[in-house]
Structure formats: C-alpha cells, structure tokens
A and B are shown apart, each in its own frame.
Chain A
Amino acid sequence: MAAISREEVAHLARLSRLAVTEEELDRFAGQLDVILQSVARVGEVAAEDIPPTSHSVPLTNVYRDDVPQPSLTQDAALSGAPDAYEGRFRVPRILDEED
C-alpha cells in the first residue's frame, strides 16, 4: 500500500468535515501511515470466495403496526440545540456569497 501523504490527510480531513491544523496534519500523516501499514495485513488472507460478515447477528427489518405513538415533544427535541428559532433548528447560511 502506498504511504499516506500530508496532502492526502488534508483531503481526507476535508471529506470528514474536520478543519485540522497544520501541526495536526504533520502528526496524523506519520501516525496514519504506521496504522495503515499495520492493518494492511488483512489483505493477506481473505480469498475471493469468502463471504463478508457485516454483523454478527443476521439483520432483518423490524416492523411494528403503523399506529401513532408518543415521541419526543418539539421542546425536548430542540432542548440540546445550539440555536433554535420558532420551533426549528437554526443553521448558518448554506450558500456562499457568490452562489
């Protein structure tokens, strides 16, 4: 596996919505390289014909009758919000100036 570069870490951080610092970029690049080289061993064993296991319990859809039930009140759902307005979550602007 190719070594992970500082630029690659910066790209992954952007994809992850993490505004990492310059110092973190340097540190993570070295550490992630060691970790990824150590975990690359998983490629040694599993052959084509081995089915993957995503969950130790077989997953099935769980249904209930479509009957309205009590849920969180609007106040409770908004109780931990950093900002709320007229019963809704208030968010910063989504579009940039030029959009």
Chain B
Amino acid sequence: MSDLTKLSAAALSGMIAKREVSAVEVATAHLDRITAVEERVHAFLHVDREGALAAAKKVDDGEITGPLAGVPIAVKDVVTTKGIPTTAASKILEGWKPPYDATIVERLKAAGMPILGKTNMDEFAMGSSTEYSAYGPTNNPWDLGRIPGGSGGGSAAALAAYEAPLAIGTDTGGSIRQPGAVTGTVGAKPTYGGTSRYGLIAFSSSLDTPGPCARTVEDTALLHAVIAGHDPRDSTSIAQPVPDVVAAARRGLQGDLTGVKLGIVKEFAGDGSEPGVVAAFKESLEALVKLGAEVVEVSCPHFQYALPAYYLIAPSECSSNLARFDGVRYGLRAGDDGQHSLEEVMSLTREAGFGPEVKRRIIIGTYALSSGYYDAYYGQAQKVRTLITRDFEAAFEKVDVLVSPTTPFVAFPFGSRTSDPYQMYLADLFTIPTNLYGGPAISVPCGLSEGLPVGFQIMAPTLADDRMYRVAGALESAVGTFTPPAL
C-alpha cells in the first residue's frame, strides 16, 4: 500500500500545497488502492478514475487552491453527481446519470476535491447494515464477514480500507454515525439545515442531513467546513453563519475540557447494550473526566419513544418521496409491452425496481398516513417529536453536550438481523433522537470490543456543531485512533 493512502486529509492537503506531492499522485494512489482491495471490500458502486484525475490536474495546474484542494473524496450514491451514475443502490435507478450536481458536490468541486467515485449503501438509505443494497453488500474492513453499518456502509468502509481519506454520507436516523462506529471511523451529522439537501435523493425530508466522514476528527471538521452553509435552493437551509468547527476540533485536540459538562442520559442505561460496548464507553468517559470534564446524569424521559416515532415518520415521508419513481421521467420502466395501462406499468416498475426494505417502508408509510390511522400513528409521532425536542432543550440547560455509545452493539455478522426487521432497527437506538430534534451529533471511535470498534456519540444543541467537535477532538486526543488489521 502506498503511504499516501494512510495519511490524513490535513497532512495530504499540506503536502499538496507545498508541492511535496502532486494532487494527481495522491488521486492515483487512492485509485490504485481501490483497484487492489475492492474485490474484498466492495465499498464503491462506481469509480470515476478519469474525472478524479482531471480534477486533480486542475489543482496541480494552480487553477484551484484551498484547505482541501487536491484531497480526494468518495461520495455516497444517494447524492447526485452530474454525468456520473447515481443509483441510491437501487435497481430502479440503474445507470441513471443525473443532469445536475447536488449543492454539496458543487462545493467539493469548487474546493478542488477530486471525486473518486460513488459509495455503496442500503437502497435509498434505508437500512443499518448495507445488506439492502441492490448491488450486494459492502464488507467491513475489520472483519470481511461482518456488516460495515448502514446505510452509509460504503463510505465508512472506503475510509477504513484506506481507499479514500474523506467521504460524504447522509444521516436520516444514524446512517453516518452508525457506520462510523462499526468501522472505527469518524462521522458527523451536522445540524439539520446546516448542510444543503439540494440534490440528495430524498428519503425522509424532515430528517435527511448530509455530512462528513473521515478517519480523524480534524479531517471531519475540515470537510464539514467545505460543505456546510446556506443554500438558497433548499428551503430548509439555515441562513446563519456556520460555527468554526475546525478551530473547535483543534482546540479539543489540545486535550483540555475544563468546565465542560457532559450529560449521560439516564434512560439509555439498561437498554441491552453489549457489555464490551458499555465498558469502552465508560473508560472513554473517565478519560474525558481526566481532561477536566464533569459528568452529569440527566433524564430524557421521551427518548424511549424516539425509535417508534422515527419508524412512523421516516416511512411516511419515504412513501411520499418515492412516489416519483413511477417509470415515467427517469429510471427503470417495466411491463411497457402495449398490454398494460400506465397504472399497471407503474406498479410493475416499482415491484421490479424496489428491494424488500424499501417496499416494507412504503407500505408502513402508506398505512400510517391512511385515513383512520393518521391520528393514531403519524400525528402521535409528530407530537412525540415535540416531547423529544423539549427533553433535549431541558438537558442542554444543565449540560453542554449529551454523550452515549453510538450503537448498542459492534458490527454483527451478515444475515444475522435481516429476518427480523425490528431487530435491525435497534441498531439506531441511540442515534435517532438527534434526528427528530435536529441538532448535530458525531461518532468518534473510543475503543475495541472483541477486536471490533466501538463508537462514542456526542450530541450538541442545534447550531452548536463547534461544541461537539471540541469534545470529539478531546476524546481523540485521549484515546487515539484505531487501525483495522491489514487487508
């Protein structure tokens, strides 16, 4: 393996700026690494070698400069990339080349970051294991027989396998943080509205949030700064300045948390987390106390209803958003043989194009929104969302951030949870409350259990993304980073 693929994005950008290495060399090293390991990892659905090298050359030619100029990146396949196939890991969009770029992709290009390719994921970002990709699962570089998390398993695995130094994910119920946790990488869900959703293939519009993935906290913050900020094309985009997350991360890395209050949620105890996960979390908490932090127990009584509320709200919004896949304007069309009506062609197209988890959620959402059940399910879930928001607000009057394990268990073997969808949904137990509230949250590797990585989650108030990066940096300074066995 080339040493270039082992370096952080911060180190690479410094070397490229000083012309110690060319951006083309850096991109080539990563493309070669992809060629060498993809057969075993399967993190990518599409690799854009020519496009990445062309973008790198522009940096070498001095056309673009900036903090991450020349640093290559992988992009989750739910984010549209002009002229590069974008499928959301679904058969219904096989071969589709979007005619436009997502706002965050425009920003990556403007920053001079070569896009290596599109990463694998659960179909339409629905899942917690990347086993629901229509193109086959991604394997966890820590143990190729285990899941890399979901839905952003491809992005997280690409980082852990040294195929890319940076990646883009999207987080609807934990799809950036949970894959980060089980692959030993860092993943941040920014404040909802802090990063533009324009050009994301929508799953659950009131929850979806694109965000940065990397191997270190500083790299995550650097990427966060590139993609965040107001976008007039997204009506939910927040027109306020982005806090200086890079300065906050660097401050945290100096290892001083004096005066910072960390809240642990009483109701998260006794939730069935694996003992090894609990042990790694507690040890990390003690490490943060040694850096000067104070731990305070807080009560968030409605967090126990977050998972049920999420599994009504997200499917409801998905059943509406995915109505656009009807075989008319783009993507697959099935049954158009002159014998079937438009309605039948739509039904046959959707049956042929959608996988099992997507169908399940469309049907649940249709049920939850249907006459007679709306008040009992969707309406109630939206009220629970209010109660959870109040829990967060009350907690943040007492503490600066809330902390928890990111996931209740380490990476599980393939197939072990697919037969029981509700067991799979439990993977997002700790990550979902934040999506319902809208605040930022990050997962940072904090230790190992049975030789597999454990994630530490830090949740902050809305628009206080910098606060979470400070604690994340301090944690990394205390526990270090974790390297998977050689592939």
- Residues of A near any B CB (own CB < 8 A): 1, 4, 8-9, 12-21, 24, 27-28, 31-32, 34-36, 38-46, 50-57, 59-62, 64, 72, 76-77, 79-83, 89, 91-96
Extra contacts besides A16-B319, A19-B347 (7): CB < 8 Å: A19-B350, A31-B421, A53-B383, A80-B329, A89-B329, A94-B341, A96-B341
How far does the Cβ of B357 sit from chain A's closest Cβ, in whole Å?
Answer: 10
How far does the Cβ of B382 sit from chain A's closest Cβ, in whole Å?
Answer: 3
How far does the Cβ of B181 sit from chain A's closest Cβ, in whole Å?
Answer: 23
**What residues of chain A lie closer than 8 Å to B329, measured between beta carbons?**
80-81, 89
- What are 10 inter-chain pairs, A to B, with CB distance below 8 A? A13-B363, A18-B347, A20-B351, A34-B420, A40-B376, A42-B309, A46-B386, A82-B330, A83-B336, A92-B342
- B330 with A17: CB separation less than 8 A: no
How far does the Cβ of B416 sit from chain A's closest Cβ, in whole Å?
Answer: 16
How many residues of chain B get a CB closer than 8 Å to chain A's CBs?
73
How many residue pairs link A and B with beta carbons under 8 A? The number is: 183
Query: For the complex, what is the distance from the CA of A49 to the CA of B395, rounded to whole Å?
Result: 22
How far does the Cβ of B172 sit from chain A's closest Cβ, in whole Å?
Answer: 13
Q: CB within 8 A of B336: which of A34, A60, A92?
A: A92
How far does the Cβ of A88 sit from chain B's closest Cβ, in whole Å?
Answer: 11
How far does the Cβ of A41 sit from chain B's closest Cβ, in whole Å?
Answer: 5
Segment of B92-100, B147-155, B284-292, B398-406 engaged in the interface with chain A: B92-100
**What residues of chain B lie closer than 8 Å to A45, measured between beta carbons?**
302, 305, 383-384, 387
**What residues of chain B lie closer than 8 Å to A93, measured between beta carbons?**
341-342
**What residues of chain B lie closer than 8 Å to A53, measured between beta carbons?**
382-383, 385-386, 389
How far does the Cβ of B347 sit from chain A's closest Cβ, in whole Å?
Answer: 4
**What residues of chain A lie closer than 8 Å to B341, measured between beta carbons?**
92-96
User: Does any Cβ of A come within 8 Å of B254's Cβ?
Assistant: no
**What residues of chain A lie closer than 8 Å to B439, measured between beta carbons?**
56
User: Does any Cβ of A come within 8 Å of B326's Cβ?
Assistant: yes
User: Does any Cβ of A come within 8 Å of B277's Cβ?
Assistant: no
Query: For the complex, what is the distance from the CA of A60 to the CA of B359, rounded to whole Å?
Result: 32
B81-94 interface bits toward A, Cβ cutoff 8 Å, 1 = contact, 0 = none: 00000000000000
User: Does any Cβ of A come within 8 Å of B52's Cβ?
Assistant: no
**What residues of chain B lie closer than 8 Å to A80, measured between beta carbons?**
96-99, 329-331
Query: For the complex, what is the distance from the CA of A13 to the CA of B370, rounded to whole Å?
Result: 12
Nearest CB in chain B to that of A75: its residue? B99
Query: For the complex, what is the distance from the CA of A21 to the CA of B359, rounded to whole Å?
Result: 12
Query: For the complex, what is the distance from the CA of A27 to the CA of B118, rounded to whole Å?
Result: 32
Interface of A is mostly: loop
Segment of B158-166, B216-224, B232-240, B241-249 engaged in the interface with chain A: B232-240
Nearest CB in chain A to that of B332: its residue? A82
How far does the Cβ of A9 sit from chain B's closest Cβ, in whole Å?
Answer: 6
Within 8 A of A (CB), among B365-380: 366-367, 370, 376-377, 379-380
- B386 with A79: CB separation less than 8 A: no
- A62 with B366: CB separation less than 8 A: no
- A32 with B384: CB separation less than 8 A: no
Given A12-B370, A31-B360, A42-B305, A55-B422 contact (CB < 8 Å): no
User: Does any Cβ of A come within 8 Å of B340's Cβ?
Assistant: yes
Query: For the complex, what is the distance from the CA of A46 to the CA of B387, rounded to whole Å?
Result: 8
User: Does any Cβ of A come within 8 Å of B343's Cβ?
Assistant: yes
User: Does any Cβ of A come within 8 Å of B124's Cβ?
Assistant: no
How far does the Cβ of A54 sit from chain B's closest Cβ, in whole Å?
Answer: 6
How far does the Cβ of B124 sit from chain A's closest Cβ, in whole Å?
Answer: 14
User: Does any Cβ of A come within 8 Å of B348's Cβ?
Assistant: yes
- B99 with A35: CB separation less than 8 A: no
**Quick one: which of A42, A62, A72, A77 has the most chain B CB within 10 A?**
A42
**What residues of chain A lie closer than 8 Å to B333, measured between beta carbons?**
82-83
Query: For the complex, what is the distance from the CA of A31 to the CA of B356, rounded to whole Å?
Result: 11
**What residues of chain B lie closer than 8 Å to A42, measured between beta carbons?**
305, 308-309, 312, 377, 380-381, 384
Query: For the complex, what is the distance from the CA of A59 to the CA of B438, rounded to whole Å?
Result: 13
